[in-house]
Amino acid sequence: MADKEVFIASLDQGTTSTRFMIYDHSARVIGSHQVEFTQFYPKAGWVEHDPTEILESVRVCIAKAVDKATADGFNVDKGLKGIGLTNQRETTLVWSKSTGLPLYNALVWMDLRSTSVCRKLEQDLPGGRIHFLETCGLPISTYFSATKLLWLMENVVEVKEAINKGDALFGTIDTWLIWNLTGGANGGLHLTDVSNASRTMLMNLKTLDWDEPTLKTLSIPAEILPKIVSNSEVIGEVSTGWPIAGIPISGCLGDQHAAMVGQACLTGEAKCTYGTGAFILKNTGQDLIRSKHGLLTTLAFKLGPKAQTNYALEGSIAIAGAAVQWLRDSLGVIESANDLEELASSVDSTGGLYFVPAFNGLFAPWWRDDARGVCVGITRFTTKAHIARAVLESMCFQVKDVLDSMNKDTNEDNMKEFLLRVDGGAAVNNLLMQTQANLLGSAVIRPADIETTALGAAYAAGLAVGVWTEDEVFASDRKRNTSTIFEPKLDEELRMKKAECWCKAVSRTFDLADLY
């Protein structure tokens, strides 16, 4: 379908902002709009979003992006063939089927309030933390949707009552968006996709359906759960009342899985997305590899109802770009995120400073919810520039920890031949990318278009409606054309020494959760 007036849109609903992007057949953006929304922190470790504010941000972004593309002469009304959705994963909410209103704010993926739920499950279930690992590939953790749902069921009266009345619907953000875009309380479709479902702790990785023994163990009623579909298929149409009514929703993926498609990651290839957190996924093809080194076994993508299922190993890092926001908003060290590179570049090292951003605990490969942030190695020589550089290096060290574990799980030890694909907002920072290559001892490749999450959702949607073929999406020249490659430049002995010091700093973060 090589018509220049054929378009695919992507709705990218992230942790801190919502974007709507419209692509032409060459995957070139012809219209886009982005809106930030409110982050709520009711208590230490608690993070919430207002689901109705997210919906309003979606409405604004769609309208503005369509207006921009139309003003530039593109006939979006006629040429838009499908919409792909991608979203912050694990973020959990429950709403009323009859009114369409949320019964509580959404609990964001990094929220820690379900810690007590996790501890109880670990104590009560055989195998403790890894009780569900064989089924869903995930340890018991505050990170995943099931423990957040249990907290809502136990602590929010409105949620309890709605479940008892048969009026409750559970979903991650993709489900909330699809339900509202397809009619809401007036016939909205209650659906999720395999990638988002794989992050709930409730889906069986082999059957790709909700696991009945798990639901029974956790006392979660199956009727509140959405139907699971593939990542690339027409699942419904946008209802009246939205600016793009009648357009098919033909793709849906969690943000990290979308980035894998956007980066055209074939079996054996890995990507890292630098956003609020950082997320490293390696496509293991049809092999479902159980990690022995602190990683998650998850779904990569399933590009059609009858397509083969690709699995992945994943390492999730809670705090990456969020540490830059902390420097800006809480400490006032920088005025904008764009200032970080210049300030960090004003010194040639951290001056022996190591910063570990365990604000909400540590995810892979450590999995320590009792960890809290530390800054070690401070001397009178330390300046805000050293702190800025240490924050930047912390992102790279955390990625290295995950990739080291990934290579152990897949029996690969030649990092010199490894090529890490990178994307996300922070990937524009050249110092960050060069530092990443230095600390890995291997090359980093950055595509010309770093917004590969939105692009991946567009590809999935386009595949379902015939705009692209899989061969076109995964063509090697598509992912390497006009890319920038960062080669490692750090002396091997110094690289090893810095990694050793980093691990010492990480150990200092443990058992600090009760100090505040």
The fold of 7-257 is Nucleotidyltransferase; domain 5 (3.30.420)
Residue boundaries of the structural domains of the chain = 7-257, 264-418+495-510
Are the C-beta atoms of residues 128 and 141 closer than 8 Å to each other? Answer: no
Q: Give the C-alpha separation, 336 to 343, whole Å.
A: 11
- Asked if the peptide bond before residue 248 counts as cis, ω within 30 degrees of 0, the response is no
Closest among 404, 378, 396, 384 to 490, alpha carbons compared? 396
- Which residues does residue 193 pair with via DSSP β-bridges, in sequence order? 229
Low-confidence ranges of the chain (pLDDT < 50): 1-2, 476-477, 516
The whole-number pLDDT of residue 100 equals: 96
The whole-number pLDDT of residue 477 equals: 47
CATH superfamily of 264-418+495-510: ATPase, nucleotide binding domain (3.30.420.40)
Q: Give the C-alpha separation, 113 to 117, whole Å.
A: 8
Amino acid, res. 514: D
The whole-number pLDDT of residue 364 equals: 85
- pLDDT tens for 155-167 read 999 999 999 999 9
Q: Give the C-alpha separation, 28 to 35, whole Å.
A: 21
Q: For 168-320, where are the alpha helices, taking DSSP H only?
A: 173-181, 194-197, 212-218, 255-262
The whole-number pLDDT of residue 516 equals: 46
- pLDDT tens for 359-370 read 888 888 988 888
From residue 413, alpha-carbon distances to 398, 409, 494 in Å are 18, 10, 19
Amino acid, res. 295: L
What is the sign of the dihedral through the CA atoms of 226, 229, 37 and 259? positive
